[in-house]
Structure 1
Amino acid sequence: MVVGKVVSTVVSSRKYDSLQGLKLLVIEPFYGSNKDYFIAADVIGAGIGELVLITKGEMTKYALSKEAPVDAIVVGILDKEPSF
């Protein structure tokens, strides 16, 4: 799981058929020194500037209702900044 901040959305004129209905978001990791942006699918309605919880890797298939080529998906929106 990764906590990240939504910084933008991805716009495409064409999508793979199974990605239809999924919003794609650009995510900046919130913790750690690695600030490499990545793309995550969203089905819960996260918006720009929100902190989100993302699952990555093989476990993403359990968060989707259909088979899709996705390796990161938003599974939650955080109400406030977590303190560890």
Structure 2
Amino acid sequence: MQIAKVRGTVVSTQKDPSLRGTKLLLLQLLDEEGHTLPEYEVAADSVGAGVDEWVLISRSGHAACRVQGNEDRPLDAVVVAIIDTIYLEKRQIYNKREQYR
């Protein structure tokens, strides 16, 4: 799994029929300190995440496809959680409430 920040949405009028109704998000990957990496990922949203939220994504195709409701979809990544807080070595590096103050 990987931590990422939602940067935007991806809209496609022509796509595989199994992806109809699936919200796609553009994510920027984050390192263990919460700093942005130069890598991006497009992932299906299974939790209703919004722009600027930090999320947890399941990657690597097979693991992503095992998320309930995605078994028959051609997915490499799925947003599986919206993150509330992250602690690293007894130090808080992210708190969703503090982000929106």
Q: State TM-score, norm by structure 1.
A: 0.89
Shift of 1:64: 3.7
What's the Cα RMSD here? 1.5
Asked whether the 8 Å contact 2:30–2:37 carries over to 1, the reply is: no
Runs of 5+ consecutive residues of structure 2 not aligned to the other structure: 89-101
More strand by share: 2
Say which one has the larger Rg. Answer: 2
Q: Equivalent residues in 2 for 1:28-67 (5 A)?
A: 28-31=28-31, 34-57=37-60, 58-65=62-69, 66-67=71-72
- Higher RCO (C-alpha 8 Å, min separation 6): 1
Alpha-carbon distance in structure 2 between the residues aligned to 1:9 and 1:59: 22
Matched, 1:77 2:85: no
Runs of 5+ consecutive residues of structure 1 not aligned to the other structure: none
Which consecutive aligned stretches of 4+ in structure 1 deviate over 3 angstroms post-superposition?
A: none
Alpha-carbon distance in structure 2 between the residues aligned to 1:46 and 1:27: 11
| Identity %, equivalent residues | 39
Q: State TM-score, norm by structure 2.
A: 0.75
